[in-house]
Structure 1
Amino acid sequence: MRDRQLSNIIAAQPYPFLFVTLSGAHLYGFASPDSDYDVRGSHILPVQEVVGLYPLKETLEIAEIRDDLELDLVTHDIKKFFELLLKKNGYVLEQLYSPLILLTTPAHEELKEIAKGCITRHHSHHYLGFARTQWKLFAKERPQRIKPLLYVYRVLLTGIHLMKTGQIEANLVNLNAYFQLSYLSELIAQKRESTEKSVLVDANVALYQTEYERLYCELEEASQKSDLPETPSAKEALNDLLVRSRLNTGNEFDSSLIHLSHE
């Protein structure tokens, strides 16, 4: 049912897509029954609009509840998306490599290969900054919620894994299969069985803070020791894909909707 609803929403958008995936709690492995659907991707503006006088719709956004489905859709035109890939932006990497694919194209597969040349050790700054923000949110809230705490650990473990392997893994369940942090399994189970705004019961805040500080330092150290490059090397390949994709928007664009994979 959800697959069909999401496919219909995507099909109703005004531009062809290079790809569309799910992000947010569904990607991270701790969606609650009432979690919204964070739909992300990249669309392709036609040449006529790019060279015309009118403002470009570089970003499409929809935030609404439609037939009991809470939707948060954000997609960027390919030029903007590619520019973000060339920066230390972990969000776009996670969206690109999300295994929860709603729409894919041959160019999507090509982009995933090219984007490997966008990953640098400076992506650690994205994850360190996100972790600091989420920890501050968690620490000041009363009562304290599970969601921001899970975000803290999710981004730190994603960052550490990226620095050590050069690969994006945004699913906290998969990450914890490697890191083996017992308290995470309990927190994930609580979040999945409750609501988006569920609060901690008998929270061991001292433990959570100690672990936050330890993993934060581990990510900093992993960045310093990482074999990842200092700068991206994919700009020329991205430019070539951008030009080809833009010029092809006047033709039939080869895309296919496929079903969500469920954990």
Structure 2
Amino acid sequence: MKDLILKRLKELETIHNITILYACESGSRAWGFASPNSDWDVRFIYVHSQDWYLSIDESKDMLDFAIDEHELDLTGWELRKTLRLFRGSNASPFEWLQSPIVYLDPYNFRSELWQLTNTYFKPRSMAFHYLGLAKNSSKKGLVDGLMDIKKYFYVLRPLLAAYWICHKKTVPPMEFALLLEQLKSEEALYAAIQTLVRKKVAALEGDLTEPVPIIQTFIQKQLTACAILAKDLSAEQAVSTPLNHLFRAFIQLSYVDNQ
């Protein structure tokens, strides 16, 4: 599958006259609980030629494609869009930079941007982002009293990310296993979630399970507790200067590379 993904990414570079700076896996395969029929969620960051940035009109700043017959979901963000969202502590680029499955990083982009994570990480906004995801998914997961197994993790993963931020005040890891380590001292809860992970990995899309009382209690308690803690977290916005330098460097790099 990796060869197909690399082939598709190379085709996109040619068709759209772009340079892909970074491409990785997102979604359940990167989070660590993929089902047998999980999609391949490929996310990439790209840059145009200099002329694109010197036009008076702003053009579309992302590439998004329908899932194909290979269950391949491809979405790309243009560099300026990515850096603007990164400046605002949008969770997606922070996660992509931590993906354990990297397809392309020819210019060391991941390392360059990762060095700025502490500068632009805003604990309050990211914690509330994750809490919002968890809360919305908790409402949608129940079907006739049963819980969609996939949705269970759409609640637990962002909730554990918010829990991490509220208690550690650092960027949360992308991988679920690392987030779960926070609960290792709560043996019964930890074991229950591990059991649910094993069930998720074996489940197909749409499979349901009985709600697990100890997990449900944790979810309801922490949705409230983390919301209270998040209010006191920092929301300071850093200046854009370092990101402007990085942006110009990669625009120039792309220009030189294409000569």
Where in structure 2 are the equivalents of 1:32-47 lying within 5 Å?
Answer: 32-47=35-50
Q: How far has the Cα of 1:205 moved from its partner?
A: 5.3
Residues matched between the structures, number: 246
Q: How far has the Cα of 1:233 moved from its partner?
A: 2.2
Contact 1:153 1:212 (8 Å CA) reproduced: yes
Q: How far has the Cα of 1:225 moved from its partner?
A: 5.8
* 2:223 alignment partner AA: Y
Deviates more, 1:26-35 or 1:10-19: 10-19
Correspondence for 1:185 among 171, 189, 194: 194
Q: How far has the Cα of 1:113 moved from its partner?
A: 0.5
Bigger relative contact order, structure 1 or 2 (CA pairs below 8 A, ≥6 apart): 1
Aligned to 1:162: 165
Q: What SS does the aligned partner of 1:102 have?
A: strand
Q: How far has the Cα of 1:27 moved from its partner?
A: 1.5
Aligned to 2:187: none
Verify: 1:173 aligned to 2:172, yes or no.
Answer: no
| Partners of 1:141 and 1:29 in 2: CA distance | 28
| Partners of 1:52 and 1:141 in 2: CA distance | 54
| Partners of 1:120 and 1:82 in 2: CA distance | 14
Correspondence for 1:134 among 134, 137, 141: 137
Where in structure 2 are the equivalents of 1:104-119 lying within 5 Å?
Answer: 104=105, 105-119=107-121
| Partners of 1:168 and 1:11 in 2: CA distance | 31
Residue identity (%) = 22
Verify: 1:230 aligned to 2:235, yes or no.
Answer: yes
* 1:8 alignment partner AA: K
Aligned to 2:3: 4
Aligned to 2:90: 89
TM-score by length of 1: 0.85
Contact 1:30 1:191 (8 Å CA) reproduced: yes
Q: How far has the Cα of 1:177 moved from its partner?
A: 2.8
Verify: 1:198 aligned to 2:237, yes or no.
Answer: no
TM-score by length of 2: 0.86
Q: Which runs of 5+ in 1 are unaligned?
A: 254-263
| Partners of 2:26 and 2:239 in 1: CA distance | 24
Contact 1:143 1:199 (8 Å CA) reproduced: yes
* 1:174 alignment partner AA: L
Q: Which runs of 5+ in 2 are unaligned?
A: 185-189
Verify: 1:98 aligned to 2:107, yes or no.
Answer: no
